[in-house]
Amino acid sequence: MTKVRVALPVHLRTLARVDGDVEVPVGGDPTVDELLDALESAYPTLAGTIREHGSGKRRAYMRFFACGRDLSQLDQSTQLPEEVVSGAETFYVIGAIAGG
Amino acid sequence: MAGVRILVGTRKGAFIITSDGTRRDWKVDGPHFGGWEIMHLKGSPVDPERIYASQWTDWHGQVVQRSDDGGKSWEAVGNNFAYVGNPGTHQWYDGTPHPWDFKRVWHFEPSPDDVDTVFAGVEDAALFRSRDGGASWTELPALRTNSRGNDWMPGAGGMCLHTILINPANPRRMYVAISAAGAFRTDDGGETWHVATRGLSSNFLPEPEADIGHCVHCLAMHPTRPDTVFMQKHWDVMRTDSAGEMWNEVSGNLPSDFGFPIAVHAHEPETVYVVPILSDSEHYPPDGKLRVYRSRTGGNEWEALTKGLPQSDCYVNILRDAMSVDSLDSCGIYFGTTGGQVYASVDSGDSWQAIAEHLPAVLSVEAQTIP
């Protein structure tokens, strides 16, 4: 079991009642979906706010970044980068630039 | 002393405006959930401290908040709204089939006899019920399947179920309204439904008197007259005295019969309020004058109420869920504008004052009378 550091957008930090980045325990070689499963397990109010209920797909206005790369379009069954699993890098959940 | 709590949903958060029974001084509390769209808040008739709030953005989707202390603190509850079975398609704006997809909750209607039961009207249009205080939600699918849901189409705001009326003496009798599908009634708590649009006519439809496709904007009912319902349609103000079996137009002398909200006086079942809007393509009051119109004859004969309301250069809109009444002895009327004002009248509409200004655009207003 390791801990992955996740940065959340401000509205989700408020919803989860956390002040900054969160650390989420995951096992083995976790995928994007497994990280998000663990995140929602630790913070149940986030269910449905990053991925759709039912389909589990990333919501249209949400983006994922890590290690300077955009991971948004990767299949969510893709394994996380080693640097994220090791704790050297943060997994960023970011709201797309839109709205007013 | 009794008091009043006004629950205001806006484009950027919720505000709670309170006063004691004199309704002279008002306190604005908020924003709650700052930065989120708050489509609607409503308190339970069983326990007014229990309030449900629909919190939403395009980024994060639907969140449902519940308060058990009158809005002082909140808890996020269930937000999984899954249609029963495969809902298939409804009509898109251009008449092509479009997959049914949950977007957000437009309206909560807490049960009149059970604090943990609450109904949710959602987009894409459907009715959901929770029996555990919002923790879990179950669709009542017969509304779609009994009423030709695949023929429904969205209005400009989306294909939303925005109005839920429950007969307090017989909660199994409910009316709902959907833009742009029409009005529907159940007599068995939502197990079966039928279309309740006979008498409606909408010129934008290929068949103006078709049973499906009317853009109903809002319904209102006095709790002691459950067979009489008033309707603000896209165009036309209507009433039924037969529980929706037949509707008759009561627009009468209104300067425009286009509008969004409609409300009934708390103590006078034949006193009705609307806010005329210039047209379907010009969503602001005629002549730049913000006027509430009151009928004390159940429609047809309307008088303009202007005292305390801006009578020049006013181009705000009043959305469908943004008008409400309290039930104090002298009935209070409240409405919010897309310009961020909340107006109150404590004398049945004779005079008005702004109790909040400069809020974000107001999406909904609900008045609670606190014992």
Mutate to test the interface with B, among A36, A46, A53, A57 (most CBs of B within 10 A): A53
Contact of A94 with chain B, judged by CB distance below 8 Å, is answered with no
- The stretch B349-367 carries a mean pLDDT of 98
Task: Give the burial string for B56-95 (b: 16+ CB within 10 Å, else e).
Answer: bbebbbbbbbbbbebbeebebbbbebebeeebeebbeeee
The string of pLDDT tens digits covering residues A59-73 is 999 999 999 999 999
CB contact under 8 A, A53 and B80: yes
Q: What's the CA gap between B248 and B199, in Å, rounded?
A: 6
Residue A97: per-residue pLDDT: 83
Mutate to test the interface with B, among A49, A55, A62, A72 (most CBs of B within 10 A): A49
Nearest CA in chain A to B74: A15
Q: What's the CA gap between B178 and B185, in Å, rounded?
A: 12
> What confidence tier does A98 reach under pLDDT thresholds 50, 70, 90?
confident
- Distance (Å) from the alpha carbon of A51 to chain B's nearest alpha carbon: 8
B324, B323, B318, B240: which is closest to B284 by C-alpha? B318
- Distance (Å) from the alpha carbon of A100 to chain B's nearest alpha carbon: 10
Nearest CA in chain B to A47: B79
The string of pLDDT tens digits covering residues B268-288 is 999 999 999 999 999 999 999
Nearest CA in chain B to A14: B33
Rounded to whole angstroms, the maximal C-alpha distance in chain A is: 41
Rounded to whole angstroms, the maximal C-alpha distance in chain B is: 56
Mutate to test the interface with A, among B11, B36, B59, B100 (most CBs of A within 10 A): B59
Which residue in B35, B36, B61 is closest to A48 by CB distance?
B61
- Distance (Å) from the alpha carbon of B61 to chain A's nearest alpha carbon: 6
Question: Which residues are CB-contacts of B174 (< 8 A; sequence separation ≥ 6)?
Answer: B119, B164, B165, B166, B167, B185, B186, B189, B190
> What confidence tier does B183 reach under pLDDT thresholds 50, 70, 90?
very high
CB contacts of A50 in chain B (<8 Å) are: 60
Q: What's the CA gap between B186 and B174, in Å, rounded?
A: 5
B370, B369, B364: which is closest to B15 by C-alpha? B364
Q: Among the residues of B134-212, which ranges form H helices?
A: 142-146
- The stretch B284-299 carries a mean pLDDT of 98
Mean pLDDT, all residues of chain B: 97
* pLDDT greater than 70 at residue A99: no
* pLDDT greater than 90 at residue B195: yes
Q: Is B254 exposed, middle or buried (0-12, 13-18, 19+ CB in 10 A)?
A: buried
Nearest CA in chain B to A56: B80
B211, B210, B105: which is closest to B161 by C-alpha? B105
* pLDDT greater than 90 at residue B2: no
B253, B254, B251, B223: which is closest to B239 by C-alpha? B251
Q: What's the CA gap between B355 and B67, in Å, rounded?
A: 23
B260, B267, B246: which is closest to B197 by C-alpha? B246
- The stretch B304-312 carries a mean pLDDT of 98
- The stretch B189-196 carries a mean pLDDT of 96
Nearest CA in chain A to B78: A45
Contact of A59 with chain B, judged by CB distance below 8 Å, is answered with yes
- Give the total residue count for chain B: 371
Which residue in B59, B62, B80 is closest to A95 by CB distance?
B59
Handedness of CA B105, B106, B109, B110 (dihedral sign): positive
CB contact under 8 A, B76 and A45: yes
> What confidence tier does A8 reach under pLDDT thresholds 50, 70, 90?
very high
The set of long-range contacts for A20-24, using a CB threshold of 8 Å and a minimum separation of 24, is A21/A90
- The stretch B210-215 carries a mean pLDDT of 95
B158, B227, B162, B153: which is closest to B196 by C-alpha? B227
Report pTM.
0.97
- The stretch B240-261 carries a mean pLDDT of 98
Q: Among the residues of B192-351, which ranges form H helices?
A: none
* pLDDT greater than 70 at residue B173: yes
> What confidence tier does B161 reach under pLDDT thresholds 50, 70, 90?
very high
> What confidence tier does A1 reach under pLDDT thresholds 50, 70, 90?
confident
Which residue in B60, B62, B81 is closest to A12 by CB distance?
B60
CB contacts of B76 in chain A (<8 Å) are: 15, 45
CB contact under 8 A, A53 and B81: yes
* pLDDT greater than 90 at residue B39: yes
- Distance (Å) from the alpha carbon of B77 to chain A's nearest alpha carbon: 7
CB contact under 8 A, A59 and B61: yes
* pLDDT greater than 90 at residue B113: yes
Contact of A87 with chain B, judged by CB distance below 8 Å, is answered with no
- The stretch B278-304 carries a mean pLDDT of 98
Residue A100: per-residue pLDDT: 59
**Residue B193, token pair as written in the block:** 């439904």
* pLDDT greater than 80 at residue B140: yes
- Contact residues, chain B to chain A, C-beta under 8 Å: 35-36, 57-63, 76, 79-82
DSSP B166: E
Q: What's the CA gap between B219 and B229, in Å, rounded?
A: 7
* CA dist A42 → A1, A4, A39 (Å): 15, 12, 5
B127, B104, B129, B107: which is closest to B117 by C-alpha? B129
**Residue A24, token pair as written in the block:** 């989420």
Which region among B12-16, B146-150, B246-250, B281-285 has the lowest average model confidence (pLDDT)?
B146-150
* pLDDT greater than 70 at residue B1: no
CB contacts of A61 in chain B (<8 Å) are: 58-59
Question: How many CB atoms are located within 10 Å of the residue A88 CB?
Answer: 11
Q: What's the CA gap between B38 and B7, in Å, rounded?
A: 10
Do residues B348 and B305 make contact, with C-beta atoms less than 8 angstroms apart?
A: no
Which residue in B58, B76, B79 is closest to A98 by CB distance?
B58
